[in-house]
Structure formats: C-alpha cells, structure tokens
Structure 1
Amino acid sequence: MTSNRHRIVLLAAGHASVDLYQGAVPAVVPFLDAERHYGYAAVSGIVLAATLLSSFVQPLFGILSDRCPMPWLLPVSMTTAGLGLGLSGVGDSYLTTWLAIALCGLGVAAYHPESARLARLVSGNSHIGMSWFSLGGNIGFALAPIAVTPILSAGGLRATPFLLAPAVLGGLITLTVMRSLTRARAGARAKAHRAGRDDWPGFLRLSGAVICRSIVYVGLSAFVALHVQQRTGGGPGTGASALFVLFTGGAVGTVLGGRLAARWGRVPVARAACLAAIPAVAGVVFIPGPAVYLFVAAAAIALYVPFSLNVTLAQDYLPNRVGTAGGVTLGLAVSIGGVAAPGLGALADATMLATALIVLVPTAVAGWLFARGLTEPGERAVQPGGAPAVSRT
C-alpha cells in the first residue's frame, strides 16, 4: 500500500510536468505579442495550435493504446511536449512558432491516455489515488505562469529552450514507476479484456456531462478575472485574486471528489456536484460585491469534484477500451471548452461580459441533466415501469 502511494505521488508529479505545458502556452503569448507584435488573430492561431490538435489527436492515441501496449510513449510524449515549447521562441517566423506549439500539443495529447491507464493500475482502482493523480495535472497547469514568466522576462523568447527542463525531470520520474510495473500492467490488461461488454450509451452520457463541465470551467477561467473586477469595482489585483480562488477551489474539489466517492460512490457524488454547480455558477454571474468570491470558490469545487471520477467511470463504461475512454475524457471532452471560449468572447464583444457569462448557467444545467442519466458501470438504469436495476455479467 505504501509503495503504491509513493508511486501515485510520482505519477502525479509527472502529470504536473506535462500539464504545465498546457498552461505554459497562454503564458508565452504576451511575450510573442511584445517581441513579435502578433495580432489577435495570430495569437488565437497559436493557442488553437495546441488546444485543437491536443483535443482531436488525444482520442486517437487512446485507440492506439487499446490495440497495443505503448508504455514507452509516456517519457517520449513528455519530452515532445517540452521540446515543442522549448523551440517556440527559437525561430523568428510565425510558421515555425506555430509548428513548435503544435508539437507541444501533440506531446500533451500522447501522454494522457496511457498515463490514465497506468494511474488506474497503480492506484488499485482507488478513487482517492486517482484524485491525487488528477490533482497533479491541476497543479502543473496552475504553476505554468509562475514557471514561464520569470524565465522569459529575464531572457526573452530566446530563453524558451530552458522550458524543456520540467519535461525531462517528469520523464525521469515516470520511468522509475514504469520499471516496477511491467508485470502488473500485463496482468491488468488481460483482466481488462475479460471485464465484460462496453457500455457506449453510458459513456456518451458521461461525455456529455464532461463537455458541459469543460465549457463552464474554461469559460470561467478565461473571463472570471475581468468579470470580478467589474462586479467589485476593483483593479487588476481583484481579478488575480479571483483566478487564485478558482484554481485553489479546483484543487480542493479534485481531492475532495475522491474522498467523497470512496464513501458515497462515484455516480451519486458526480450527480450532486453537477447539481451544486448550477447555483454556484449563477452566483458568480449575478452576485455583486465581495460575495462573488465565495461563489467562485463554490463553483470551482463543484466543477472539479467529479473530475477524477469521470476518468474512472469512463474506463469502467468501456472496460475493453480503457485507452479510448481516457483519451476522450481527458482530451476531446475536456478541451472542448477551449474551443467554445472564443464564442463567449465574441458574444461579450457584441453585448457585455456579464451577458455572455449567463450562457454558462444553462450549460451547467445541461451537464446535470446528462449526469442524472448516469448509472454505476455494470448496472442498467431503472426501467420506466419501476423494474429494479439489473446487474450485467
């Protein structure tokens, strides 16, 4: 047990080093603008190079990992992500920068499906263990500006090669875990193929809930700083505080979700969290004054409580395609919020920010409606006539 806890902590550290590169791309944007004078369209293209490629390629890596074991992909993908960001400031042309950022997104995409499988194995199907693994990614994303900004402030874009270091360190940490789990991975893979039928309807309902959650959270993270400034009448410091509350609440929710699920079960906790997100998000949108910070915290916690639970649910809905499940849940379904964010921005430009954020409230409602239809993998939903749930074999 102690050994597995040590391994999950190491995997969480590796996860942090990879997801740091997801948060690092937006942190590099101000330096691209300052040194190369990119316009809004050019900057949007740079960000989409990472988010879109990662979103759509990640499920493909999940499919590939289901067909053949690819443990070697973890350190390779981590190094690829770091190499892409490291090269982003070396060339002067827009094309080379775009290709470097796309390479970074490709590395991030390749990492998650196989790592989710490995984390599930190491955690021994523990919800708490998976929540710690997910927390590592949240921490890496939140630390990205802190890691990137001092380096580029001191050396400019030509200092981007130094940003390869976290990927190398994360790869070495992950290798120490992989070496001790070769036999266990093979046994788990054989067991997974005997696990039963894939439940595609359940998986699609879950994906719907995750997509709605992604749109709401990414929408908040993109605009909550400006929104809170407007609601409180404060300066940039109030917006930065709102982002800190949002990120901290997400970390708390991730850990809390695993502990609640260990006691009450994944599906009831996921349903309750989706329901709680509705008034919390509405409070962020409508409540004025300092009280808005309480609703930002509540929204972040509610949106992140089911985060790690969604990964294990997806894997159990598709027991014969756990790589695909992890790829879709952590990839396309999660990153779709980044695709929707420009639409919210356009609506805010056409109306006002508070009006655009109202869209997040019905989106949270839709996420709860999807979650209501979820059942624990291996069970059938109660029939309309009142027939009890039937366990699948």
Structure 2
Amino acid sequence: MSTASIPKQPAPYQKDTGTVYNILFIIGLCHLLNDSIQSVIPAMFPILEKSMGLTFTQLGLIGFALNMVSSVMQPVVGLYTDKRPMPYALPIGLTCSMLGVLGLAFAPSFLTILLSVVFIGLGSAVFHPEGSRVAYMAAGKRRGLAQSIYQVGGNSGQALAPIITALILVPLGQFGAIWFTIVAALAVAFLIYIANWYSSKLNYIKPTTKSKPKAQMKNQSFSKAIRNALLIIIFLIFARSWYVSAISNFYTFYAIEKYDLTIAGSQVYIFCFLLMGAVGTFFGGPLADKFGKRNVIIVSLLATAPLTLLLPFVGSTISLIVLALIGLILMSSFSVTVVYAQELVPGKIGTMSGLTVGLAFGMGAIGSVALGAMIDFIGLTPTMIGVALLPLIGILAFLLPTDRKLYEWQQEK
C-alpha cells in the first residue's frame, strides 16, 4: 500500500525537516567500519577450525559470545540514552572494539578469543542504537532512506568478511586481525566528528510534556495491539536472522564439501550473498517510503522462500545466482523493520532500534550455536535443507498493522 497520502510527522530531534546527507553518509561509513570489525570473527572461523582444531559447536559459541553480548546490551543502551542522550558514547564504544580486535590477534586459546569478542560485542552494543538515533536525527522527512543509508553501511561491512578471509586471514592467519585496529582508529576519528554534531543538535530537542490522565487511559487501548505487533516482528526477525546466520557462518563449509572448493574459493559465495544483501538493504528503505513498510516486509520474506528451498539442490554456478537473489530480497526488510518499530512506538527511537537490531544479533547468536550443534549432529546438508523453510514464517507479516493504521494510532495518542 502506498504511504504517499499519509502526512509526514515531525522528527522530535530536529530543528528543521531537512535531510542532513553528510551526517548520514559519515554515520553509514562508520557503520561499515564497525561491522567490518565484527566481520573479522566469522571470517576467522575456517582459520580457527584448522589452527586450533575447534569444533562447529565451539565456533558457534564464539559467534554466540559476540552477538549475544551485543544483542542484550543494545536495548539497554537504547533505553538509557532515550532518557539521557550520550553523544560521546559512540567513539568510546569503538575504542572498546579496537581493544577487542587487538586481543583477538594475539589470543592463544579458545577462552581468550571469547573474552576478546565480548569487548567487540560491547562496542557494537553502544554503537548501533546511538548510530540509529543519529540517522533518525539527520533523516528529515525521509526516514526510510536515512535508515537504509545507515544500515547499508553495516551490511557492506559484513560483506567484507569473505574478502578479509581471502586477502588477509588466509595468508596471515589469526595475527592478520591486527590490521583492524587501524580500521577501528579511523572509525573513532569519524565518530568524534559525529558526536560533536550530535551534541549540538541536542539543543533543539523539545522537552517532553507529561501525558494527561485522559490521554494515558486512551493509550492503554493500543497496548495490546502494539504488543502483538512487536511479537510478530520478533518472529520475523528470528526467521531472517537464523537464515542469515546459517549462510554467513556455515555455508562456506557446505560449499567446500559439496563443490570441492578451497577456503578462498568458498568465500565468493558468502561475499555475493552479503554484498547483494547490502544492495537490498539500501533499496528497501526508499521502496518502503513509496509502497509501505509492511508491504516491503511481507515481500522480503515470502518472495525469498522459493529461492531458499531451491538453493540446496542446484549446482555451483546456479547456487551463486540464487544466493545473490536471496541476499537482495531477504535483506530489503532489514532497515524497514527498524523504522516500522520506531513508528510503532514513537518517542523510543534508541529503545526500538536497540530492540530490533539487537534482537537480530541475538537471534543470530542463538542460531549460530544451534545450527553449529545441528551440523555436528545431523550434518551440513540436512541442516541447510531445514533452514530453507524459515522464510515461510514471513506469512505472519500479513497480521502486522498497515502503515496507515500506525499513523492513525499516532494521531489518536
């Protein structure tokens, strides 16, 4: 459904309604740098599996440690900064990630690797809700586009993982992660600039007024519908995150086993999937601005399902094309889900961003452990066939309130 007829709503963090593109592009670049640091960890899985003899379950636990710390802390950070914005938490968080990368390069054991990725997870937990808030503040009237610019940076950073493996980690091994301390330092420098802009914009925040008792009673009538919508969003994020986790963490092993590829050769498949996912993330926002967020979410999952069911049964060349299409379509709803949640619960920008993005990380974390254990127990091929069913959960998106309904709720509150 087109949302062109829905009046635009003022952003609470802006003096005017103009879109600040230079801030959007810088925060998108910082998102790329932050997530490229995170991408070092799954990119190292094949290296660690050989050099340390780790099991798939242990590799899953490493992914769990990274993503679970990030997912648990993101909504906490978002909830706190909704009340007390902290512009300079952004460079501080990336400094924490830089220390984690440094530890990762020198980690001598499985436990020290876990400790290092916890530091990286903490840095990510601070960055994501505050970065999303910056994108919201700079969005003006183009919220879908702004969130897409921000999120495509992160997806592009994740897409670098196969390149990192092929060009850096395969020849240099675990110590090659040391190069990403430079990436982290660059991100810190950019985020100091962003923090200065963010701090200046806080002067324009309008003070919130307390709701009148009558309004509070009226708002209670929406609580059940909002809870139900959030529950549906959680199921949709689960389906998308587990499938992405299966491909990004374990498809390289599947490609090596099925197509008799080298580690470097198998990374082409993951790179293609993640790169097209970044493209889908970018176009999802503008499409949602034009056709509606709910419609994009529905198409994103259900149009992916036939392709995911086909993937385990095609040859090496066709699988590359199918993976590209899956990434393009499936990830088109990533930024859209964030904006949908922000408009479902207006005034809680950091909390909703932390919840949706953090939940995606958390679901991916649980998925990495569960899928790793499944592979150890039943094998790669049955696991890949099983996860192909996940996008079918997208049928639940038909139960989400329409974009117009969201707007009507906001007007009635």
When normalised by structure 2's length, the TM-score is: 0.81
| Structure 1 alignment gaps of length 5 or more | 382-387
**Contact 1:12 1:132 survives alignment (8 Å):** yes
Letter in 2 for 1:304: M
> Aligned partner of 2:300: which letter?
A
Structure 1 Cα separation of the partners of residues 371 and 54 of structure 2? 22
Counterpart CA distance in 2 for 1:10 and 1:257 is: 20
Q: Which residue is 2:184 aligned to?
A: 167
Match of 1:284 in 2: 311
Instruction: Report SS of the residue matched to 1:71.
Output: coil
Q: Is contact 1:58-1:110 (8 Å) kept?
A: yes
Letter in 1 for 2:128: H
The equivalent residue for 1:385 is none
Match of 1:205 among 232, 251, 260: 232
Match of 1:251 in 2: 278
| One-letter amino acid matched to 1:355 | P
From 378, 391, 395, give the equivalent of 1:369. 395
Q: Is the 8 A contact 1:20 1:140 kept in 2?
A: yes
Q: Quote how far apart the aligned CAs of 1:101 are.
A: 2.0
- 11, 23, 28: which one aligns with 2:27: 11
In 1, are the aligned partners of 2:254 and 2:381 still within 8 Å (CA)?
A: yes
* Residues 277 and 330, structure 2, Cα contact 8 Å, conserved in 1: yes
Give the structure 2 partner of residue 182 of structure 1. Answer: 199
Preserved contact between residue 85 and residue 104 of structure 1 (Cα < 8 Å): yes
Distance 1:271 1:288, change over 3 A: same
Q: Give the deviation of 1:316 after TM superposition.
A: 1.3
1:131 to 148, 153, 158: 148
Tell me the distance in 1 between the aligned counterparts of 2:92 and 2:110: 26
Contact 2:42 2:161 survives alignment (8 Å): no
Give yes or no for contact 2:243–2:390 (8 Å, CA) kept in 1.
yes
Residue 325 of structure 1 aligns with an amino acid whose one-letter code is M
**Of 84, 89, 104, which residue of structure 2 is paired with 1:73?**
89
Work out the percentage of aligned pairs sharing the same amino acid.
25
Letter aligned with residue 358 of structure 2: G
Q: What is the alpha-carbon distance in structure 1 between the residues aligned to residue 112 and residue 250 of structure 2?
A: 30
Structure 2 residue 255 is matched with structure 1 residue 235: no
The change in CA–CA distance for 1:51 and 1:373 in structure 2 (over 3 A counts) is same
Q: How far apart are residue 42 of structure 1 and its match?
A: 5.0
* Per-residue CA distance 1:120-151 (angstroms, 9 max, x = gap): 11122521221111111011122245457755
Asked whether the 8 Å contact 1:249–1:297 carries over to 2, the reply is yes
Tell me the CA shift for residue 389 of structure 1. 9.5
- Return the structure number with greater relative CO, CA threshold 8 A, min gap 6: 2
Post-superposition offset of 1:288: 4.4
Shift of 1:253: 0.7
Structure 1 residues 139 and 224, CA gap change in structure 2 (3 angstroms): same
**Structure 2 equivalent of residue 343 of structure 1:** 370
Instruction: Note the residue ranges of structure 2 that are not aligned, 5 or more in a row.
Output: 1-16
Q: Which residue among 114, 126, 151 is the counterpart of 2:130?
A: 114
Deviates more, 1:110-119 or 1:36-45: 36-45
Report the CA distance between 1:59 and its aligned residue.
Answer: 1.9
AA of the residue aligned to 1:339: I
1:380 to 1:266, Cα distance in 2 relative to 1, 3 A: closer
Letter in 1 for 2:400: L
**Among 339, 352, 359, which residue is 2:386 paired with?**
359
1:81 match: secondary structure: helix
CA–CA distance in structure 1, aligned partners of residues 204 and 188 of structure 2:
24
Amino acid at match of 1:98: L
Q: Which residue of 1 aligns with 2:412?
A: 392
RMSD over aligned Cα atoms:
3.3
2:412 counterpart letter in structure 1:
R
Provide the rounded CA distance (Å) in 2 between the counterparts of 1:265 and 1:240: 35
Distance 1:275 1:71, change over 3 A: same
User: Does residue 221 of structure 1 match 2:238?
Assistant: no
**Could you tell me how far 1:163 is from its partner in structure 2?**
2.4
Does the 8 Å CA contact 1:345/1:356 hold for their aligned counterparts? no
Runs of 4+ aligned structure 1 residues displaced above 6 Å come to: 191-196, 388-391
SS class of match (1:261) = helix
Higher mean C-alpha deviation, range 335-344 or range 186-195: 186-195
- The correspondence for 1:294, drawn from 321, 326, 330, is 321
Matches within 5 A, 1:46-85: 46-85=62-101
- Give the aligned partner of residue 269 of structure 1: 296
3-state SS in 1 of match to 2:98: helix
- 1: CA distance between counterparts of 2:103 and 2:51? 16
